[in-house]
Chains A and B, each alone.
Chain A
Amino acid sequence: MPQNIPVIETKRLVLRGPEAEDYPDFKATFTSYRARFMGGPLNAYESWMLYAAEIGHWEIRGYGMWMIHDKITDETYGMAGGWMPAKWPEKELAWVIWPDAAGHGYALEAVDAARRFFYSEREWDTAVSYIDPKNLDSIRLAERLGATKDKTAPTIDGSDAVYRHPSPAELNGTQLAHGIEMEISHYQDPLFKPKGWAID
């Protein structure tokens, strides 16, 4: 059956398929208050079942959520990728950053890379992110990625806001694309740390 999960490298990060050894990091976040906007906090059993389902999602859909690793230390910072379990109206770009890894622009860098991959390698022509309206950090990240609230798009269950990402054309050599690229490069440059930016 199995297909291999592609590996994506960015300047600071490596995105790889979720593996058994990464599970404790996933569990720590999903059983914590941090997971309140992602259906959590989960108990230990639900957390394991969800992690296994994240891997099964790759097999079923041919895409899924990557584990975000530091390129040098290999430690994990969170997950990012494509997500569409049953009941999702359309394909989602999703992310979660472990609380300790917030504030370094890792989610921005990882989701930007994932979006490029889906647009160029998998020919997605659009993507949304379903976000709890109270999850302001996540909404801000969606906006920094150029996504805008799509009030006409169907929601998962009425309690989430739909943010629609810019299309491939809107990211092709545009000012929006350059702005995102510049923000990511500022995070990557140790001498140019953005201060007082959104926590992601």
Chain B
Amino acid sequence: MPVIPTLETDRLILRGPSMDDFEPFAAFYASDRAKFVGGPLDKEGSWRMLAMEIGHWMLKGYGRWTVALKDTTEPIGMIGPFCPHGWPEPEIGWDLFNGYEGKGFATEAAVASRDYAYDILGWDTAISLVKYGNDKSAALALRLGAKPDGDFTHDRHGLMQVYRHPAPQELTDGGIEAYS
């Protein structure tokens, strides 16, 4: 199986997901906050979801990382390139675990993920899918410079709004700072 790369940002480590992340992952997916991303799930559903996150890396060659705080190593979210069956195109996806909102962590990890998708995976565009009503996620997409680009209806997740990120050359021209 391929080795999952590790990324570093100022405050965060992005590393391969593992069962060590199960408790905060399952707590997030059991909570009302997960209603926009396929939850709430019981423990078994969360276990399979986490197993899927790992398998995604093996099937696609990329996937979402567990985002951990550099200082304490505690896992705070699951963020990265994501494209399970039925997605309209590859996206940058983000789940921030309970209790870590409002500190800019998701932005920091999503920027690093998008840079990886553009620089290493060679994507020339990226979207993020946001369920209507998930205002915090939509706000994050906008902060990242993404713009609404139509709707998409998924078999299971239903109607979602497509946000399209700035293309690689737009980020180079303007600099990521322009969007933060």
Q: Can you report 18 A-B residue pairs in the complex whose CB atoms are below 8 A from each other?
A: A1-B4, A2-B58, A23-B59, A45-B85, A45-B86, A46-B156, A49-B84, A49-B85, A52-B56, A52-B59, A52-B84, A53-B55, A55-B51, A55-B59, A56-B52, A56-B53, A59-B51, A85-B48
How far in angstroms is the closest Cβ of chain A from B117?
19
B154 partner, pick from A3, A45, A52, A85, beta carbons under 8 A: A45
Query: 1/0 per position for B1-36, CB-CB distance to A under 8 A?
Result: 111100000000000101100000000000000000
Instruction: Report how many residues on chain A are interfacial, defined by Cβ distance under 8 Å.
Output: 29
Binding site for A on B (CB under 8 A): 1-4, 16, 18-19, 43-44, 46-56, 58-60, 84-86, 154-156
Determine if A2 and B3 form an interchain contact, defined as CB atoms under 8 angstroms apart: yes
Interfacial chain A residues near B48, Cβ < 8 Å: 49-50, 53, 85-86
How far in angstroms is the closest Cβ of chain B from A92?
14
Binding site for B on A (CB under 8 A): 1-5, 17, 20, 23, 43-60, 85-87
Determine if A56 and B154 form an interchain contact, defined as CB atoms under 8 angstroms apart: no
How far in angstroms is the closest Cβ of chain A from B124?
22
B55 partner, pick from A1, A4, A43, A52, beta carbons under 8 A: A52
Give A1 to B53 CA distance when docked, in angstroms. 14
Chain B residue at minimal CB-CB distance from A157: B44
Give A17 to B54 CA distance when docked, in angstroms. 14
A45 partner, pick from B51, B53, B59, B155, beta carbons under 8 A: B155
Give A55 to B49 CA distance when docked, in angstroms. 12
Chain B residue at minimal CB-CB distance from A49: B52
